[in-house]
Structure 1
Amino acid sequence: MPQPRWWSVTTARDRCHRRSFTSAGLRPAFFPLTDGATVHIWVPASPSPSSRPALVLLHGFGARATWQWSPFLRPLIRAGFDLYVPDLLFFGDSSSPTSDRSDIYQARSVMEALTSAGLDQFGMVGISYGGFVAYQIAAMYPNAVDKLVIVSAGVCLEESDLAAGLFAVSDMAEAASLLVPQQPDDVRQLVKLTFCKPPPIMPTCFIRDYIRVMCTKNVKEKTELLYALINGRKLADLPKINQETLIVWGDQDKVFPLELCHRLKRHLGDNSHLVVIKNAGHAINREKPNELCNIIKRYFVDTSFKTYENYNGHSREGKWRDCMKRFARSSIKRIDSGRPLL
């Protein structure tokens, strides 16, 4: 007999995550698109575009945006940002009637919704799958994206990497069974792959509850998103973006190995910076939320740092140079992409 809805631990956690968004001053908004799709975005209840820069946060594969970004809201808002947090299509409350599953279509849809929300220029952070979408938005709309942070997103992967054994999975069917889990063992294996230190105990009853509440909607569409992301993918086809880009990776990432962050650094060249976080897996936002949040604030320059730099009359180039010096003095290890990986 199904467990009553009001006894669901997952439902209770989902409500807590949503409450954290509303208590942080965000409200849910729905933006219908011209092709019949609808993009749900958490937007500022009282935006201030003249004084607070907009920052867009894109989630990865998982439940929905609220589950992945809750710990970041208040620190980033205190740092002076207006936050916009979309549910990507087929996640959370966003949907589409079309058959297009490409990251390009996701990018076009998110951008149309952000334009409807009144944004014409913004910074952007994308985690994992959200990093693929963020990269495409930066490539397709260069005048809209000011600066970009790519977190644990293997945008430089190629389909041939699967056969070459670069990943922990051998084919897309295995990857889909983990990223769109329908069985408790799939969830356990996914957690082992994405966390550097996975929880020692994962009760089956809680896992089944999570699957029932969060993983049974849009299974077919999400699986198709994965296949569309990998099939025929070649580095030679990846556009080179011109925005200043920060690449953030966990040194123990088993989903997208470190080779891919170095590959992306080489692809982007001098416009990019690389930060590798020690003792972190693929799910940096869950394992190291404070470290990642501090990196984001420093990179985009929080309010106090911006005021300090203006007071000293530093140029824009000097400001970013000093910002990166702060990275070097932090406890985070910055890796030189020129060094060999092996």
Structure 2
Amino acid sequence: MPKYFYFVATWNWWFRYAFSHAGLKSTTTNLGDGTVIHCWLPKAHTHSKPNLLLIHGLGANAMWHWGDFISSLIPHFNVYVPDLVFFGDSYTTRPDRSRAFQARCLMALMEAQGVVKTTSIAGISYGWFVAYSMVAQFRERVEQVVLCCAGVSMEDKDLEEGMFLVRSLDEALLPRSPEKMRELMHLTFVKPNYKAVPSCFLNNLIQVSGLLY
């Protein structure tokens, strides 16, 4: 089925329109080491505004996690909204999958875009761990950090001791089938009506969001 018939693809279309209408443009930056980072960045950088880097979490591209906040942030910041490697339109041929690598890619992106001043960072869920790694590696370049929905004190033993209803966070947070997607909905929504969601819609969500990559 062509992508323009996908249910979920209409969300991407709407977010692209909203981001562009708010004053951002879609760019791809080749970092020169087999890594390409896609990012929404200001059409016109305003030097008097502080810079703000927004890092999304697992299971989505940048637009999905930050789309509802863009219009409120842009009047006050030069906003940069990248896709992490292997999400959205960002990718690499390198074997590194660490948070430290993600952090280095984002800092290289900012430098390639001419952002040499300090940057504030907001990270959602997994994005917070990438943000923390940016602070650890580039402390002099980071002004402030905002944590959103991140289990900063969670340890491996917490899973082993049964803190969560799943044995593997990767399996829970990166569902690759409609059945696993329903399990995720059951775990994360207060009153989920997950049984009523058609499998075709959930498959569509998995494909378009990049969870099968």
Match of 2:184 among 190, 194, 208: 190
Per-residue CA shift, 1:241-298, capped at 9, x if unaligned? xxxxxxxxxxxxxxxxxxxxxxxxxxxxxxxxxxxxxxxxxxxxxxxxxxxxxxxxxx
Q: Which residue does 1:176 correspond to in 2?
A: 170
- Distance (whole Å) between structure 2 residues aligned to residue 154 and residue 102 of structure 1: 17
Matches within 5 A, 1:153-168: 153-168=150-165
Deviation, 1:140, is 1.1
Structure of higher CA gyration radius = 1
Amino acid at match of 1:207: L
Cα distance in 1 for partners of 2:133, 2:2 equals 42
Structure 1 residue aligned with 2:35, among 34, 37, 53? Answer: 37
Aligned partner letter, 1:188: R
1:249 aligns with: none
8 Å CA contact 1:181, 1:211 repeated in 2: yes
Give the drift of 1:180.
Answer: 2.0
Indicate the residue corresponding to 2:9 in structure 1. 11
The one-letter amino acid of 1:177's match is E
* Alignment TM-score, normalising by the size of structure 1: 0.58
Q: Which has the higher contact order (CA 8 A, sep 6+)?
A: 2
Stretches of structure 2 lacking an aligned partner (at least 5 in a row): none
Tell me which residue corresponds to 1:226. Answer: none
1:20 maps to 2:18: yes
Contact 1:58 1:88 in 2 (8 A): yes
Q: Indicate the structure with greater strand content.
A: 2
Identity among equivalent positions (%) equals: 38
- The CA distance in 1 between the partners of 2:160 and 2:88, in whole Å, is 32
Distance in 2 (CA, whole Å) between partners of 1:216 and 1:139 is 28
Q: Displacement of 1:11 after TM fit?
A: 1.3
**Shift of residue 209 of structure 1?**
1.9
Instruction: Indicate yes or no: 2:117 matched with 1:124.
Output: no
Separation in structure 2 between the aligned mates of residue 16 and residue 199 of structure 1, nearest angstrom: 25
Who is 2:207 aligned against? 212
Distance of 1:151 and 1:54 partners within structure 2: 18
Gaps of at least 5 residues in structure 1 are 219-342
**Cα displacement (A) at 1:199:** 4.7
Greater share of helix residues, 1 or 2? 1
Structure 2 length as normaliser, TM-score?
0.92
- Select 1:101's aligned residue among 80, 89, 97: 97
State the superposition RMSD in angstroms. 1.7
Q: Is the 8 A contact 1:127 1:151 kept in 2?
A: yes
Q: CA deviation at 1:25?
A: 0.7
Q: Does the aligned pair in 2 maintain the 1:132–1:154 contact within 8 Å?
A: no
